[in-house]
Amino acid sequence: MTAERVRVVRAWEWARPERPARREVLSAEPELEQAKPPLLFVPGFGHGAWAFAEHWLEHAAARGFPAYALSLRGHGGSEPAPDATLRSYTHDVVQVAASLPRQAVLVGHGAGARVVAHALARYPARAAVLVAPVLGGWATFGTALRRNPVGTLPAVLGAGLRLNRRQLFSRELPDSEARRYLSRLGRASRRAQWQLLTGREPEPAVGRPPVLVLGSPDDRVVPPATLNRAARRYASAPLLFPGMGHDLMLDARWREPIDAILDWLEKDPAPAPG
């Protein structure tokens, strides 16, 4: 007979609880209640809830899903948090998800997908979706440095990571829209940026919820190898959208990935194998 080790209490987290923070949450509700699970969208570093409010929130609500988008502390309309950590961001996701009326689906984009992966170890999600996931580690940094050295190197020295138009959007997106989105980008805390490079792997998800990984093979932030690695972690294969940039929710063909996510959820995906 073998015993499985289960860590029930994280003593250091009890000893040092996260500081409460005022968080911005935007929402869109369906006209008619259809008993579909709520979706909680979690943006990546530098982005706020606005990135999902542009298109995906209303589109999800139009298909019957209550939709919410969170600005992590220090982002969007949430309160400033210059010393926030990945743990702080994870706490934000778990607290907001727990406040929703039903068990939620967590949808994380970019570095927000990494935050969602950590949150899955603390919140029993109905399902999760990792969109163009930035897994972190030095391999991610190396890719970013090769493709955007001017914007990436300052982040290692404590400044903000600066992503450019070519990294975030396809050529199909009008320049006026790309400039408008770029002007709204903020920055994550120095500690959180550094932890994304050096931090530990997420713990196993509570209840083994089904996880969908999707992205673009033409993403100039997340290479295909990273998409494959993320999908393998959850015993699946990535769903790909060629020709799109890193910010799938803002790019010209934004409908394609969100419809794929909602179609997947409507099929009521089964929990991941044990």
Give the CATH number of the domain where residue 205 resides: 3.40.50.1820
Whether residue 42 contacts residue 107, with contact meaning beta carbons closer than 8 Å, is answered with: yes
Provide the H-helix boundaries in the chain: 11-15, 50-53, 56-62, 86-99, 111-119, 138-147, 149-156, 165-168, 175-183, 190-198, 224-233, 255-266
Whole-structure pTM value: 0.88
| Cα separation, 271 vs 128, whole angstroms | 11
Residue 12 lies in a domain: no
Q: Reply yes or no on whether the pLDDT at 150 is more than 50.
A: no
Q: Tens digits of per-residue pLDDT, 213-265?
A: 999 999 988 889 889 999 999 989 999 999 999 999 999 999 999 999 999 99
Count of domains forming the chain: 1
Residue 40 lies in a domain: yes
Residue 67 lies in a domain: yes
Domain that holds residue 75: 22-266
| Cα separation, 121 vs 125, whole angstroms | 9
Residue 101 lies in a domain: yes
Residue 273 lies in a domain: no
| Cα separation, 54 vs 50, whole angstroms | 6
Residue 197 has what pLDDT?
74
Residue 197 lies in a domain: yes
Q: What is the mean pLDDT of residues 135-152?
A: 57
Tokens 């170890």, located at residue: 121
Average pLDDT, the chain: 87
Q: Tens digits of per-residue pLDDT, 16-73?
A: 778 889 999 999 999 998 899 999 999 999 999 999 999 999 999 999 999 999 999 9
What residues does 50 pair with on adjacent strands? none
Residue 159 lies in a domain: yes
Residue 17 lies in a domain: no
